[in-house]
Amino acid sequence: QVIKCKAAVLWEANKPFSIEEVEVAPPKEHEVRIKIMATGICRSDDHVVTGALVMPFPIILGHEAAGVVESVGQGVTSFKPGDKVIPLFIPQCGECKSCLNTKGNLCSKNDLALGGGLMSDGTTRFTCKGKAVHHFLGTSTFTEYTVAHESAVAKIDSAAPLEKVCLIGCGFSTGYGAALQTAKVEPGSTCAVFGLGGVGLSVIIGCKVAGASRIIAVDINSDKFARAKELGATDCINPKDFQKPIHEVVIEMTGQGVDYSFEVIGRTDTMTAALACCQYNYGVSVIVGVPPAAQKITFDPMLLFTGRSWKGSVFGGWKSKDSVPKLVADYMNKKFVLDALITHTLPFTKINEGFDLLRKGK
């Protein structure tokens, strides 16, 4: 059956979301239809609004959520109606080169690179006012019901609080994994984290769990420092408070720079600053923030020649279907907290207010 429900449709760039009645088609073969119970707002969604991440319109954004399976398509055996699940914007097909390699997690079935906004058969499951509406990253969670491919859904503990564990669908896992999986931060090491939004704070949680001895938090909004310290940052610095470049400040604070640095903003100038502030020979710098479209980066190659490593991390390096249920279990076992990452809880119809809060750094 087609389901009629509310969704936040983005008809064009730089416009507010419009709460519309949409039709959600039943799941096709190997697809799952999910009732979304909670969804987070991520800067990557806003990048589509501003045009920094190019996607086709109209579109239903959202990719950080948790919900309950409503129905399953033909051939789906691992899910049944009533299962609690998290949709995965990085799927895990289990068959492509990245899935088969222990070092990889960016399944080739992802829609991040393609940006086509369609399901694997080249069509969409959403219509609004007679028009086809595009999917976003195979998840589209700003709607009461969505459809995802079974390779892009993880079944989780039935006791998990969905309004908390929805963050494991993107922000938390992305930051936490950048520290633990991508950088492999060791006990006693020093770290610098550029950007203290939800993902940056999750990097701090990961560095702390890994046993880092010093975690330097960097942001131009000093209002974010108290929460960063609460989660494990040992030092907080605001680039606006210094006359010299921020990488020089970090090097002076640490002697030779940090062992690990993380750029969690998505700006090219902070990416080079993060690279420059890590130890000149064995330092590792990780790009976690989504880079803006059509921008290039210029840097002194000597920064890499001396031995530093520059890495990227997508979804924290986790193999999504394997790792998300385990991360939920770790949360249930109190290995880390998520509550501190949640600043506001709003009804779905106030989604535009939520985006205003994001843009104001609140």
Half-sphere exposure of 143 (CA within 13 A, CB side): 33
Bond preceding residue 58 cis, omega within 30 of 0: yes
Select which of 5, 47, 107, 261 is catalytic.
47
Examine the residue annotation and report whether 78 is marked as an active-site residue of this protein: no
Catalytic residue among 44, 120, 173, 261: 44
Catalytic option among 18, 63, 134, 222: 63
Burial class (CB in 10 A: 0-12, 13-18, 19+), 97: exposed
135 catalytic residue (yes or no):
no
Tell me whether residue 170 is one of the annotated catalytic residues. Answer: yes
Q: Residue 329's CB: how many other CB atoms inside 10 A?
A: 13
Q: Which two tokens stand for residue 165?
A: 């564990």
Q: What is the DSSP string of 257-279?
A: -BSEEEE-S--HHHHHHHHHTB-
Indicate the helix (H) or strand (E) that contains 305. helix 302-305
Tokens coding 149: 């491919």
The full DSSP string for 60-124 is: E----EEEEEEEE-TT--S--TT-EEEE-SS---SSSHHHHSTT----TT-STTT---S-TTS--
Which entry of 42, 93, 99, 191 is annotated as an active-site residue? Answer: 42
Find the catalytic residue in 93, 107, 166, 170: 170
CB atoms within 10 A of CB 281: 10
Active-site residue list: 42, 44, 47, 63, 170
